Chain A
Protein backbone atom coordinates (compact mmCIF):
# COMPACT_ATOMS: atom_id res chain seq x y z
CA UNK A 1 0.00 0.00 0.00
CA UNK A 2 1.12 3.51 -0.71
CA UNK A 3 1.12 6.44 1.67
CA UNK A 4 2.33 10.01 1.90
CA UNK A 5 3.47 11.95 4.94
CA UNK A 6 3.80 15.72 4.84
CA UNK A 7 5.80 17.07 7.74
CA UNK A 8 4.24 20.20 9.13
CA UNK A 9 0.61 21.12 8.60
CA UNK A 10 1.60 24.81 8.61
CA UNK A 11 4.78 26.50 7.41
CA UNK A 12 5.43 30.23 7.70
CA UNK A 13 8.20 32.05 5.83
CA UNK A 14 9.08 35.65 5.16
CA UNK A 15 8.79 37.07 1.69
CA UNK A 16 12.06 36.41 -0.14
CA UNK A 17 13.03 33.50 2.09
CA UNK A 18 13.53 29.88 1.06
CA UNK A 19 10.44 27.70 0.93
CA UNK A 20 10.88 24.05 1.95
CA UNK A 21 7.87 21.75 2.20
CA UNK A 22 8.66 18.19 3.22
CA UNK A 23 7.15 15.03 1.81
CA UNK A 24 7.99 11.41 2.46
CA UNK A 25 6.29 8.55 0.69
CA UNK A 26 5.91 4.83 1.07
CA UNK A 27 5.53 2.64 -1.99
CA UNK A 28 6.30 -0.99 -2.75
CA UNK A 29 6.88 -0.18 -6.41
CA UNK A 30 8.59 2.73 -8.19
CA UNK A 31 6.19 5.60 -7.73
CA UNK A 32 4.96 8.55 -9.66
CA UNK A 33 5.19 11.60 -7.38
CA UNK A 34 3.32 14.88 -7.58
CA UNK A 35 2.95 18.22 -5.89
CA UNK A 36 -0.39 20.01 -6.21
CA UNK A 37 -1.30 23.50 -5.00
CA UNK A 38 -4.72 24.70 -3.90
CA UNK A 39 -5.31 28.43 -3.72
CA UNK A 40 -8.23 29.71 -1.63
CA UNK A 41 -11.55 28.96 -3.31
CA UNK A 42 -9.86 27.32 -6.28
CA UNK A 43 -9.37 23.76 -7.48
CA UNK A 44 -6.22 21.68 -7.19
CA UNK A 45 -3.53 22.57 -9.70
CA UNK A 46 -0.49 20.49 -10.62
CA UNK A 47 2.83 22.13 -9.70
CA UNK A 48 5.18 19.40 -10.86
CA UNK A 49 5.56 15.66 -11.20
CA UNK A 50 8.26 13.01 -11.17
CA UNK A 51 7.90 9.99 -13.43
CA UNK A 52 11.30 8.73 -14.60
CA UNK A 53 14.68 10.14 -15.49
CA UNK A 54 16.06 13.28 -13.90
CA UNK A 55 15.45 13.30 -10.19
CA UNK A 56 15.33 17.10 -9.93
CA UNK A 57 12.03 18.24 -11.32
CA UNK A 58 11.15 21.83 -12.12
CA UNK A 59 7.60 23.06 -12.01
CA UNK A 60 5.58 26.19 -12.41
CA UNK A 61 6.07 29.43 -10.46
CA UNK A 62 9.73 28.68 -9.68
CA UNK A 63 9.09 25.56 -7.61
CA UNK A 64 11.19 22.42 -7.86
CA UNK A 65 11.39 19.08 -6.11
CA UNK A 66 14.00 16.36 -5.87
CA UNK A 67 13.20 12.66 -5.83
CA UNK A 68 15.51 10.87 -3.37
CA UNK A 69 14.86 7.16 -3.49
CA UNK A 70 17.23 6.36 -0.62
CA UNK A 71 15.36 8.77 1.63
CA UNK A 72 11.91 8.08 0.12
CA UNK A 73 11.48 11.83 -0.05
CA UNK A 74 10.16 14.34 -2.55
CA UNK A 75 10.59 17.73 -0.85
CA UNK A 76 9.33 20.89 -2.54
CA UNK A 77 11.50 24.01 -2.62
CA UNK A 78 11.49 27.54 -3.96
CA UNK A 79 14.48 29.86 -3.48
CA UNK A 80 12.50 33.03 -2.79
CA UNK A 81 8.92 33.14 -1.51
CA UNK A 82 6.35 35.55 -2.90
CA UNK A 83 3.17 36.64 -1.19
CA UNK A 84 1.24 34.96 -4.00
CA UNK A 85 2.68 31.57 -2.96
CA UNK A 86 0.43 31.48 0.10
CA UNK A 87 -1.74 28.40 -0.43
CA UNK A 88 -2.22 24.76 0.56
CA UNK A 89 0.26 22.31 -0.94
CA UNK A 90 -0.35 18.60 -1.36
CA UNK A 91 2.19 15.88 -2.06
CA UNK A 92 0.81 12.80 -3.81
CA UNK A 93 1.95 9.36 -4.93
CA UNK A 94 0.56 7.15 -7.67
CA UNK A 95 1.22 3.47 -8.34
CA UNK A 96 2.77 3.09 -11.77
CA UNK A 97 2.47 -0.67 -11.80
CA UNK A 98 -1.27 -0.95 -11.89
CA UNK A 99 -4.13 1.45 -11.59
CA UNK A 100 -3.68 5.17 -11.33
CA UNK A 101 -5.14 5.74 -7.92
CA UNK A 102 -3.37 8.75 -6.47
CA UNK A 103 -2.89 9.01 -2.71
CA UNK A 104 -2.58 12.49 -1.24
CA UNK A 105 -0.88 13.73 1.88
CA UNK A 106 -2.78 15.77 4.45
CA UNK A 107 -1.41 19.01 3.05
CA UNK A 108 0.81 21.84 4.24
CA UNK A 109 -0.52 25.37 4.43
CA UNK A 110 2.13 27.92 3.47
CA UNK A 111 1.95 31.39 4.99
CA UNK A 112 4.14 34.17 3.57
CA UNK A 113 4.85 37.17 5.78
CA UNK A 114 5.62 40.59 4.37
Chain B
Protein backbone atom coordinates (compact mmCIF):
# COMPACT_ATOMS: atom_id res chain seq x y z
CA UNK B 1 0.00 0.00 0.00
CA UNK B 2 0.89 3.66 -0.13
CA UNK B 3 1.47 4.03 3.59
CA UNK B 4 1.64 2.15 6.87
CA UNK B 5 -1.72 0.63 7.65
CA UNK B 6 -2.87 -0.30 11.15
CA UNK B 7 -5.96 -2.26 12.04
CA UNK B 8 -8.23 -1.88 13.81
CA UNK B 9 -8.26 1.89 14.18
CA UNK B 10 -10.11 1.54 17.47
CA UNK B 11 -10.38 -1.39 19.85
CA UNK B 12 -12.36 -1.56 23.07
CA UNK B 13 -11.79 -4.62 25.20
CA UNK B 14 -12.57 -5.80 28.68
CA UNK B 15 -9.92 -6.07 31.35
CA UNK B 16 -8.28 -9.47 31.26
CA UNK B 17 -8.97 -10.14 27.58
CA UNK B 18 -6.42 -10.85 24.84
CA UNK B 19 -5.97 -8.44 21.91
CA UNK B 20 -4.04 -8.41 18.67
CA UNK B 21 -3.08 -5.26 16.81
CA UNK B 22 -1.96 -5.49 13.20
CA UNK B 23 0.52 -3.41 11.21
CA UNK B 24 1.04 -3.50 7.45
CA UNK B 25 4.27 -1.63 6.67
CA UNK B 26 5.18 0.07 3.44
CA UNK B 27 6.05 -2.57 0.89
CA UNK B 28 9.77 -3.34 0.86
CA UNK B 29 10.57 -1.67 4.16
CA UNK B 30 12.85 -3.90 6.19
CA UNK B 31 12.54 -2.17 9.55
CA UNK B 32 9.34 -2.04 11.59
CA UNK B 33 8.76 -0.34 14.93
CA UNK B 34 6.01 -0.41 17.53
CA UNK B 35 5.42 2.52 19.85
CA UNK B 36 2.84 3.30 22.51
CA UNK B 37 1.53 6.83 23.01
CA UNK B 38 -0.39 7.68 26.13
CA UNK B 39 -2.42 10.85 26.42
CA UNK B 40 -0.17 13.90 26.66
CA UNK B 41 3.01 11.89 26.12
CA UNK B 42 5.40 11.29 23.29
CA UNK B 43 5.60 7.90 21.60
CA UNK B 44 7.27 5.30 23.82
CA UNK B 45 9.44 2.71 22.08
CA UNK B 46 8.27 -0.89 22.45
CA UNK B 47 10.04 -3.08 19.90
CA UNK B 48 11.96 -2.90 16.63
CA UNK B 49 12.19 -5.56 13.91
CA UNK B 50 14.80 -5.82 11.21
CA UNK B 51 13.37 -8.36 8.82
CA UNK B 52 11.73 -11.20 10.73
CA UNK B 53 13.72 -10.88 13.92
CA UNK B 54 13.22 -8.58 16.86
CA UNK B 55 16.42 -6.52 16.89
CA UNK B 56 15.49 -4.68 20.08
CA UNK B 57 12.55 -5.55 22.35
CA UNK B 58 13.79 -3.64 25.36
CA UNK B 59 10.74 -1.40 25.42
CA UNK B 60 8.15 -4.12 25.97
CA UNK B 61 6.82 -3.36 29.45
CA UNK B 62 6.32 -6.93 30.63
CA UNK B 63 5.75 -10.48 29.43
CA UNK B 64 2.08 -9.78 28.64
CA UNK B 65 3.29 -7.98 25.53
CA UNK B 66 4.62 -9.89 22.54
CA UNK B 67 5.12 -9.04 18.86
CA UNK B 68 5.83 -11.12 15.78
CA UNK B 69 6.74 -10.52 12.17
CA UNK B 70 6.93 -14.04 10.74
CA UNK B 71 7.48 -13.21 7.08
CA UNK B 72 9.29 -9.93 7.44
CA UNK B 73 6.32 -7.84 6.40
CA UNK B 74 3.11 -7.70 8.47
CA UNK B 75 3.54 -7.50 12.21
CA UNK B 76 1.16 -8.29 15.05
CA UNK B 77 1.41 -6.86 18.55
CA UNK B 78 -0.21 -9.18 21.06
CA UNK B 79 -1.31 -8.20 24.55
CA UNK B 80 -2.44 -10.85 27.02
CA UNK B 81 -4.56 -10.27 30.13
CA UNK B 82 -5.11 -6.63 29.28
CA UNK B 83 -5.12 -4.05 32.05
CA UNK B 84 -6.68 -0.59 32.15
CA UNK B 85 -3.18 0.88 32.11
CA UNK B 86 -2.63 -0.61 28.67
CA UNK B 87 -5.07 1.91 27.23
CA UNK B 88 -3.17 4.06 24.73
CA UNK B 89 -2.63 4.65 21.04
CA UNK B 90 -0.34 1.99 19.60
CA UNK B 91 1.73 3.30 16.70
CA UNK B 92 3.53 1.34 14.05
CA UNK B 93 6.25 2.73 11.80
CA UNK B 94 8.41 1.33 9.03
CA UNK B 95 11.59 2.41 7.30
CA UNK B 96 14.14 1.08 4.86
CA UNK B 97 17.38 2.11 6.44
CA UNK B 98 20.76 0.56 6.43
CA UNK B 99 23.27 0.72 9.24
CA UNK B 100 24.83 4.17 9.52
CA UNK B 101 22.00 5.75 7.62
CA UNK B 102 19.13 7.52 9.28
CA UNK B 103 16.28 7.25 6.87
CA UNK B 104 12.80 8.43 7.60
CA UNK B 105 10.38 6.28 9.56
CA UNK B 106 6.82 6.43 8.24
CA UNK B 107 4.10 6.17 10.85
CA UNK B 108 0.64 4.69 10.64
CA UNK B 109 -2.43 6.37 12.11
CA UNK B 110 -2.33 4.13 15.14
CA UNK B 111 -4.74 1.83 16.95
CA UNK B 112 -6.52 3.39 19.90
CA UNK B 113 -6.87 0.67 22.53
CA UNK B 114 -9.29 1.19 25.39
CA UNK B 115 -9.43 -1.35 28.19
CA UNK B 116 -12.60 -1.09 30.28
Q: Report which A residues bind B (CB closer than 8 A).
A: 4, 6, 9, 32, 34, 36, 42-46, 49, 51, 90, 92, 94, 96, 99-107
Give min CB distance, B52 to chain A, whole Å.
16
Given contacts A42-B109, A43-B110, A44-B91, contact A102 B45 (CB under 8 A): yes
**Count, A-B residue pairs, CB within 8 A:** 60
Q: Which residues of B contact A94 (CB under 8 A)?
A: 102
A8 to chain B, nearest CB (A): 13
Residues on the B chain within 8 Å of A105, using CB? 42
Tell me if B42 and A106 are in contact (CB < 8 A): yes
Seen from chain B, the residues whose Cβ lies within 8 Å of a Cβ on chain A are: 4, 31, 33, 35, 40-45, 48, 55-56, 58-59, 91, 93, 95, 97, 100-102, 104-105, 107-110
Chain A residues touching B, majority SS? strand
CA gap between A42 and B35 in the complex, in Å: 15
Q: Is the interface of B mostly helix, strand, loop or mixed?
A: loop
Inter-chain contact B107/A100, CB cutoff 8 Å? no
The reply to whether B107 and A44 contact each other, CB–CB distance below 8 Å, is yes
Q: Can you list 26 pairs linking A and B with CB atoms under 8 Å apart? A: A9-B40, A34-B102, A36-B107, A42-B109, A43-B4, A43-B107, A43-B108, A43-B109, A44-B43, A45-B107, A46-B105, A49-B104, A92-B42, A100-B48, A100-B97, A101-B33, A101-B48, A101-B56, A101-B58, A101-B59, A102-B33, A104-B35, A104-B44, A104-B45, A106-B42, A107-B41
A107 to B40, CA, bound (A): 8
Which residue of B is nearest A32, CB measured?
B102
